[in-house]
Structure 1
Amino acid sequence: MSEHKMFRLGVVVNPFAGIGGALALKGSDGADIREKALAQGAEKKANQKMQLALSKLTELSSSLEVVTAAGEMGETVCQELGFNYRVVFQSEQAQTEGEDSEKAALAMVEEGVDLLLFAGGDGTARNIYHSVAGRVPVLGVPAGCKIHSGVYAVTPAGAGEIAAKMVRGELVSEQDGEVRDIDESAFREGKVRAKHYGEMRVPHDLVYLQSVKMGGKESEELVLLDIAAHIAEWMDEHADTCFVMGSGSTVAAVMDELGLKNTLLGVDIVKNKTVVANDVTAAELLSLTANQSTQLVITAIGGQGHLFGRGNQQLSPEFIKKIGKQNILVVATKQKLEQLNGRPLRLDTSDPELDNLLAGSFSVITGYHDRVLYPAI
């Protein structure tokens, strides 16, 4: 895409992932298993898997800012492929453990990565989940003995292809990927005991839901109904939260479906699916949401895709800082995003520091339980 901030990619490799597979050790968890595998001549192949993924990004290196962990936890493969990278974590032990993956992932989240790409198996997915949960999109490069979790691409190359689409600014769907792991000790005795640990945000190839397609394209009316249904359900799940409804036709369609009075070119406040105030000023917005759980529903305004700074100056920097990026729900149809022709969403809050904090990938609600990742600058 022509206009884009540098895409910040986090790279984490569990160098021991999959080491017990070829030797029929039923996994790689535990220092004793890893020592046994190495003693029997097992090869560490996780970095080879990550190399297959990252090779899909070499032609995009000028658009990438890579942050990684030292040595075999990511630095080695980044160096081999010629990426410009920065090490943000160094393990204190020669044989890395799960806690090192957790610390490395946390360091990368704090660096504001747009995507965390990690190589490992289900144990590594659990480690990443402990540090990341839903804070940033993640994508697993399959390298372990056990791949039960839904956070992995089908192949290492597939992971690289999806990451490349994100770097290029193409539309990429987002889904909640399940993190699961089995009890390896029980597995070695022939028993499969899988446990659900949580979910993480995972990018995958763009999907148009069949329910909103007509002649192979989105039906705008049906899509808006799907978006409204998603927001309505979200409001039910977040009772007593103040929802600030921004301007624009997409948000207006949501309000109309909820049967609520809407200010097309203004900002309204809704709580428990009831209008608290219509067409509020910046000062009123701060006052009415003070000391309350608050989320913002907003869409892109104008031909340049502005999220802030065009027709919604009531959303002051003070208000946006107060609620934080995690409480901003962006809604738009995929057609609307595609009409931007690859241009990123625009941030113009009148506070350059805030714009920089908000920059990066937004999870855009594009239908009922349907989301895409889209960049904003």
Structure 2
Amino acid sequence: MQYSRRFSIGLVINPFAGIGGAVALKGSDGEQTRQKALALGATPKANQRVSTALRELKQLADQVHFITAAGAMGADVLDALGFSHDVVYQPSAEQTEASDTQAAVTAIQQHRPDVIVFAGGDGTARDVYQVIDDEQLVLGIPAGVKIHSGVYSISPKAAARVIENMVSGGLSSVRYADVMDIDEALFRQGTVKAKRFGEMLVPDELQYIQAVKMGGKESDELVLADMAAEIEERLDDEHLIVGSGSTINAIMQDIGLANSLLGVDWVHDGQVLAQDLTEAELYQRVTALPQGQVKLLVTVIGGQGHVIGRGNQQLSPRVLEAVGRENLWIVATKTKLKGLDGRPLRIDSGDEALDHAWSGMISVITGYHDEVVVRIEAVD
């Protein structure tokens, strides 16, 4: 089937991508993990992320045609938004698997779309990579817990801008970007082991496509010790939500407190009171205390600049609102900030209004009594 008069877009959604994030499961791979996440009250949000992107393209509805899979893998979103589309793959069960993603991409490729858009995390990117043609242009919409791969846009709306540029003929250059993933079993045990699996062809829109996450722990022990001293001095009677990341892990170790590395912990009065909390547990604890008594400690993802929305989905919009922007403590080395090459820090909580409200200039702790002011922006 040829679509000579319309820009053709393949669409594949992993409906369960990111479902484990808010309930502290650190991933969504595997049927047992998804079932556990659902049992804990998690709700699938991948379709919502795709809807956010495609609503930005409504003005182009008469210029685009989608080729997709049935149900939650694509057709449901397109039906709801009124986009023209053909369904070329039907999953056999409601809970889709990696094999469904691969089968859907394979079926869509037969129709030679101008670009295949897929929504998920690093596991989904790996699934697509397994069957994608070398010369097929792809673009990922971030919807998973783990987003290390360079094939994703920095946000759903950023994906829409890339597609809009292509539809209008304003985008001509492309590049190959890395497909990365980590071992989820080791990830849940506190070990980050990332691996490059290959590369896929993506639009070369660097302001909209995220950089591959920089790996490895900070090596400058003096800087980390200085930041640890600053955090320890700031703590009085406050309760502290401790985010994830190797920088924060090193700070916590320097203070002498245990840290789950990849989860979200709760500290008060020099003790770790709870580890690896879910979104619901965090919200219950925050709202039980007066406003201002809870501080939130987070760090910056190297190479990307994300502060909220990558690997810490437990920090939901309602948790963030309950904490308050004025109680946010961001820690990062100056080397990491310089590595952003002038790009702002990023917030992608899933709530557009909150993200914009939290945008603006903000202080980042870079050492003992040492701060720099940088800009944080919503990932529109």
Scaled by the length of structure 2, the TM-score of the pair is 0.52
Unaligned runs of 5+ in 1: 208-377
Alignment-derived partner of residue 61 in structure 1? 61
Aligned equivalents of 2:124, 2:148: Cα separation in 1: 12
CA gap 1:206/1:14 in 2 versus in 1, 3 angstroms:
closer
Aligned equivalents of 1:195, 1:27: Cα separation in 2: 16
CA gap 1:51/1:204 in 2 versus in 1, 3 angstroms:
farther
Aligned equivalents of 2:200, 2:134: Cα separation in 1: 5
Aligned equivalents of 2:105, 2:61: Cα separation in 1: 21
Q: Secondary structure at the match of 2:180?
A: strand
Deviations 1:190-237 (A, max 9, x none): 111111110000013279xxxxxxxxxxxxxxxxxxxxxxxxxxxxxx
8 Å CA contact retained: 1:133, 1:199: no
Alignment-derived partner of residue 191 in structure 2? 191
Q: Does residue 103 of the first structure (1) align with residue 133 of the second (2)?
A: no
- Say what the alpha-carbon RMSD is for the aligned residues: 1.3
Alignment-derived partner of residue 331 in structure 2? none
Amino acid at match of 1:92: S
Aligned equivalents of 2:50, 2:161: Cα separation in 1: 12
Aligned equivalents of 2:105, 2:135: Cα separation in 1: 11
Deviations 1:151-194 (A, max 9, x none): 00001100011011111111243111100100000011111111
Amino acid at match of 1:160: A
Aligned equivalents of 1:50, 1:150: Cα separation in 2: 18
Alignment-derived partner of residue 328 in structure 2? none
Unaligned runs of 5+ in 2: 208-380
8 Å CA contact retained: 1:176, 1:202: yes
Alignment-derived partner of residue 75 in structure 1? 75
Aligned equivalents of 1:134, 1:83: Cα separation in 2: 28
Q: Secondary structure at the match of 2:113?
A: coil
Aligned equivalents of 1:131, 1:43: Cα separation in 2: 28
Alignment-derived partner of residue 166 in structure 1? 166
Aligned equivalents of 2:26, 2:6: Cα separation in 1: 41
Q: Shift of residue 133 of structure 1?
A: 4.3
Q: Secondary structure at the match of 1:94?
A: coil
Alignment-derived partner of residue 112 in structure 2? 112
Percent identity for Structure 1 against Structure 2: 50
Deviations 1:249-307 (A, max 9, x none): xxxxxxxxxxxxxxxxxxxxxxxxxxxxxxxxxxxxxxxxxxxxxxxxxxxxxxxxxxx
Aligned equivalents of 1:11, 1:173: Cα separation in 2: 21
CA gap 1:206/1:173 in 2 versus in 1, 3 angstroms:
farther
Aligned equivalents of 2:133, 2:193: Cα separation in 1: 22
8 Å CA contact retained: 1:173, 1:206: no
Alignment-derived partner of residue 42 in structure 1? 42
CA gap 1:206/1:144 in 2 versus in 1, 3 angstroms:
closer
Q: Shift of residue 146 of structure 1?
A: 0.2
8 Å CA contact retained: 1:106, 1:132: yes
Per mean C-alpha deviation after superposition, the further-off stretch among 165-174 and 10-19 is 165-174
Deviating 4+ runs (over 6 angstroms) = none
Alignment-derived partner of residue 31 in structure 2? 31
Q: Secondary structure at the match of 2:66?
A: strand
Aligned equivalents of 1:104, 1:86: Cα separation in 2: 12
Aligned equivalents of 1:189, 1:22: Cα separation in 2: 17
Q: Secondary structure at the match of 2:173?
A: strand
Aligned equivalents of 1:196, 1:14: Cα separation in 2: 21
Amino acid at match of 2:115: L
Q: Shift of residue 84 of structure 1?
A: 1.0
Alignment-derived partner of residue 291 in structure 1? none
Q: Shift of residue 5 of structure 1?
A: 2.9
Amino acid at match of 1:136: Q
8 Å CA contact retained: 1:10, 1:108: yes
1:1-377 alignment, distance < 5 Å = 5-205=5-205
Amino acid at match of 1:205: E
Larger radius of gyration: 1
Aligned equivalents of 2:56, 2:115: Cα separation in 1: 15
Aligned equivalents of 1:155, 1:91: Cα separation in 2: 27
Q: Secondary structure at the match of 1:22?
A: coil
* Paired residue total: 204
